[in-house]
Amino acid sequence: MWKLFSASLLACLISSEAFSAQGVAYGGPVGGTDIQNAVLPDKAGFYGGLVVGYVKSYSLMGNGGQNSIADFSTSSGLSEFALLYIYPFKLFGGTLGTMVADGGGIGRVKLNDRYESWRGFNDVYSDILMWSTHVGDNPVRGLTVKLAYSMMLAAGTYDSRRIVSTGQNTFYYIPNFALTYLTGPNRLGDGLELDGHVFFDIAGRNPTTNYNNGLVIDIDAAISEIIGRWQIGVAGYYARQVTEDRQNGQIVPGDRFGIAVAGPVIAYSIPEWGASVKLKAQFGIWARNTAKANGLLLFFSKAF
């Protein structure tokens, strides 16, 4: 139910001024959005989610998409807890919800002859308000639409002198929308599901460095098949910075961020517990001014 704020933890955490990674963040909550991303639970109340993951990278890419650092590597672990509340009333026939998530990370990074170990708390991510509605007469099949306003709150561990900081020291304002379409049964199973989610990531100013990241547009997508309690498919995302960074009011040229990631996703529903488990692998396909990394993520969610 709930982007590793980078393709890996590193993709948003590299804080060297040589890269637009300057703390760039994008997309949705830690772990990302993939299957069922426009769907909110029907029943009012609280829902909890936990994600744990491991990420490894050997490639820090430059402005042209080439490997910019000859000797770079990093490995990191992360965990994040999310709490979702579904309101006990509808708005224009749609479901309303609010979600907040936070956690932390730990890892090691090597940049040429410099080594650092790090640990810290992440910035707080919140879907301040989400509205989801199903289109059509069939309550299960067909199109579901979600509109949301989200934020990343600068509450994480931050140190501009270090290679990696788990916090960005920057507020992000993130309007977004999602679509989920479920077909009827087919030869493979109970239905083919198509998902898409678009985020517009608007960064505030980092008061320590007086740096403003440019606007990033992030598109998450997934295609999967539902087979009984199982849901199996492929998920990925493409994020690209579309305006220039600025520091002290001046444009920072040649520093735009971009990344593309894809991999398999498999989920298992446990309705008698009001729970689900999901495993997702992420493989870096392309990156610009950030780390290209691979990762493995495990999710667990449950109704309270």
Task: Please list, in sequence order, all residues whose beta carbon lies within 8 angstroms of the beta carbon of residue 284, skipping any fewer than 6 positions away.
Answer: 7, 8, 57, 59, 259, 260, 261, 291, 292, 293, 294
How many other C-beta atoms can be found within 10 angstroms of the C-beta atom of residue 253?
A: 9
Q: Could you list the residue range(s) of the whole structural domain that residue 91 is in?
A: 45-303
> Does residue 257 register a pLDDT over 60?
yes
The answer to the question of residue 289 being in a domain is: yes
What is the rounded distance in angstroms from the CA atom of residue 28 to the CA atom of residue 21? 17
- Burial class from Cβ neighbours inside 10 Å (0-12, 13-18, 19+) for residue 204 reads middle
In contact, 254 and 66? CB cutoff 8 Å? no
The answer to the question of residue 149 being in a domain is: yes
Confidence at 9, pLDDT banded by 50, 70, 90? very low
**What pLDDT is stored for residue 174 in this prediction?**
97
**What pLDDT is stored for residue 62 in this prediction?**
83
Task: Please list, in sequence order, all residues whose beta carbon lies within 8 angstroms of the beta carbon of residue 137, skipping any fewer than 6 positions away.
Answer: none
The mean of the pLDDT values for the chain is 89
**What pLDDT is stored for residue 69 in this prediction?**
65
Q: How far is CA 196 from the centre of its chain?
A: 13
In contact, 53 and 26? CB cutoff 8 Å? no
How many other C-beta atoms can be found within 10 angstroms of the C-beta atom of residue 57?
A: 26
Q: Mean pLDDT throughout 13-29?
A: 48
The beta strand positions in the chain, using DSSP E, are: 45-60, 72-91, 94-111, 114-121, 124-135, 142-153, 172-182, 191-203, 205-206, 211-212, 216-227, 230-241, 245-247, 250-252, 258-270, 275-288, 291-303
The answer to the question of residue 130 being in a domain is: yes
The answer to the question of residue 39 being in a domain is: no
DSSP string, 155-174: -S---TTSSB-S--SS-EEE
The answer to the question of residue 168 being in a domain is: yes
Confidence at 70, pLDDT banded by 50, 70, 90? low
In contact, 146 and 40? CB cutoff 8 Å? yes
In contact, 54 and 296? CB cutoff 8 Å? yes
Q: Work out how many domains the chain is built from and give that number.
A: 1
Residue 43 carries which DSSP code?
S
Confidence at 63, pLDDT banded by 50, 70, 90? confident
More confident residue, 135 or 15: 135
Residue with tokens 């304002």, as numbered in its chain: 173
The answer to the question of residue 294 being in a domain is: yes
The answer to the question of residue 75 being in a domain is: yes
> Does residue 10 register a pLDDT over 50?
no
- Burial class from Cβ neighbours inside 10 Å (0-12, 13-18, 19+) for residue 176 reads buried
Nearest to 10 by CA among 123, 2, 24: 24
What is the rounded distance in angstroms from the CA atom of residue 146 to the CA atom of residue 96? 10
What is the rounded distance in angstroms from the CA atom of residue 273 to the CA atom of residue 23? 39
- What CATH number is given to the structural domain containing 105? 2.40.128.130
In contact, 156 and 166? CB cutoff 8 Å? yes
Nearest to 69 by CA among 252, 287, 246, 231: 287
The answer to the question of residue 277 being in a domain is: yes
Confidence at 24, pLDDT banded by 50, 70, 90? low
pLDDT, tens only, 89-103:
999 999 999 999 999
pLDDT, tens only, 149-172:
999 999 999 998 888 889 999 999
**What pLDDT is stored for residue 12 in this prediction?**
35
